[in-house]
């Protein structure tokens, strides 16, 4: 284990929500650092210290059984108050995909939050005012900081030319005997949005679901490999999305969403970060845990790759005006 550094030496804050995401992140550290001695101001969440490339990283995990936007914000603010030189924030873990013919998004793929003309990369889809006929969404979530968007642009350029380095990181997590191995592709099935899961005490997976309700994706956009990376809008709120019709309706209202998750909306205005989600299900009633570990591994591998594209940093802190109010 490498010699312990000072708290001020850590410039990257990596937040995850689940223990499998926490485990995948730790396995990708180049070096693990010794923890600091316990003190009266120690955080109320588990964390690990280490380095990736030239960056010293704090990997923080939400407390068990406490998912959601408020918990994510609490962890991020505690982390930043303890490690005051943090300049780069990442929210890394699993999410539920929104598959469409033109993106041909599959289980195990990775989604990066990326701003467009209407949104900053993450949208809190249930925040707003009730009006006759529906919900008027209000408020605006900040985009990731410019230095992370610059790294994202470099990553996109590499991705368009070749299979960039995240596959090397993924291979480290998916060696024989690893809990992060890729499931059988036969379990990656998509049902029509309106078809609900058939469940019984004896049912395993979707074996009781009608095969005629499966979506034929043979003519969807061609894929270049088993894991693809997507860039666009992520929908976030405290509620787990498990309804195919609602998934598609909200995506349409927001101009096209790539995935749903439960933490990022709490972070963006106070801990602006890049959100990276591995697709573990299709945000419908057929959700299962089969792909969660592999999706956690693909997301963590992409997070490591983005950090390797960011130059070494000094301890100059660049907080937004919103985040300064919380320090």
In-domain check, residue 117: yes
CA 90/CA 75 separation, integer angstroms: 13
In-domain check, residue 35: no
- Tens digits of per-residue pLDDT, 55-76? 999 999 999 988 898 999 999 9
Secondary structure class of 327 (helix, strand, coil): coil
- Tens digits of per-residue pLDDT, 6-17? 999 999 999 999
CA 184/CA 167 separation, integer angstroms: 18
- Tens digits of per-residue pLDDT, 80-119? 999 999 999 999 999 999 999 999 999 999 999 999 988 8
Rg, C-alpha atoms of the chain: 19
In-domain check, residue 134: no
In-domain check, residue 95: yes
- Tens digits of per-residue pLDDT, 112-142? 999 998 889 999 987 644 445 555 555 568 9
Examine the pLDDT at 25 and tell me if it is beyond 80: yes
Q: Taking the mean position of all CA atoms in its chain, how far away is CA 303? A: 9
Examine the pLDDT at 163 and tell me if it is beyond 70: no
Nearest alpha carbon to residue 229 among 163, 325, 285: 163
In-domain check, residue 320: no
CA 143/CA 133 separation, integer angstroms: 29
Q: Note the pLDDT of residue 94.
A: 98
- Tens digits of per-residue pLDDT, 234-288? 999 988 999 999 999 999 999 999 999 999 999 999 999 999 999 999 999 999 8
Identify each DSSP E strand in the chain by its residue range: 12-16, 31-33, 47-52, 55-61, 88-97, 110-113, 122-124, 128-131, 134-137, 229-232, 234-236, 259-261, 274-281
In-domain check, residue 169: yes
In-domain check, residue 9: no
pLDDT: is 205 or 316 the higher one? 205
Segments forming the whole domain that contains residue 188 = 45-129+142-311
In-domain check, residue 267: yes
The domain that holds 287 is classified in CATH as 3.40.50.1580
Q: Note the pLDDT of residue 327.
A: 36
Work out how many domains the chain is built from and give that number: 1
Q: Taking the mean position of all CA atoms in its chain, how far away is CA 240? A: 14
């Amino acid at each position: 284990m490498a010699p312990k550094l000072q708290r001020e030496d850590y410039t990257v804050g990596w937040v995850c929500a689940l223990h499998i995401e926490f485990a995948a992140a730790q396995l990708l550290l180049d070096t693990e650092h010794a923890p600091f001695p316990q003190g009266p101001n120690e955080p109320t969440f588990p964390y690990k210290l280490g380095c990736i490339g030239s960056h010293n990283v704090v990997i923080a995990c939400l407390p068990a059984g406490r998912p959601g936007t408020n918990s994510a914000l609490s962890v991020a603010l505690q982390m930043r108050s303890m490690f005051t030189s943090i300049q780069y924030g990442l929210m890394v873990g699993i999410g539920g995909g929104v598959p469409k013919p033109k993106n041909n998004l599959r289980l195990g793929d990775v989604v990066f939050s990326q701003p467009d003309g209407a949104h900053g990369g993450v949208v809190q889809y249930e925040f707003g005012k009730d009006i006759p006929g529906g919900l008027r969404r209000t408020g605006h979530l900040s985009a990731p900081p410019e230095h992370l968007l610059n790294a994202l642009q470099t990553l996109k350029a590499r991705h368009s030319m070749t299979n960039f380095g995240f596959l090397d990181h993924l291979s480290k997590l998916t060696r024989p005997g690893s809990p992060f191995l890729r499931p059988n592709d036969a379990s990656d099935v998509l049902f029509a949005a309106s078809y609900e899961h058939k469940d019984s005490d004896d049912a395993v997976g979707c074996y009781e679901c009608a095969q005629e309700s499966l979506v034929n994706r043979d003519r969807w956009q061609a894929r270049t490999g088993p894991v693809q990376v997507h860039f666009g809008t992520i929908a976030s709120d405290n509620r787990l999305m498990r309804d195919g019709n609602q998934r598609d309706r909200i995506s349409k209202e927001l101009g096209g969403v790539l995935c749903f998750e439960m933490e990022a909306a709490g972070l963006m205005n106070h801990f602006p970060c890049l959100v990276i989600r591995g697709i573990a299900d299709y945000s419908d009633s057929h959700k299962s845990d089969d792909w969660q570990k592999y999706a956690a591994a693909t997301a963590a591998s992409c997070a490591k790759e983005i950090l390797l594209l960011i130059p070494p940093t000094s301890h100059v802190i660049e907080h937004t005006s919103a985040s300064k109010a919380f320090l």
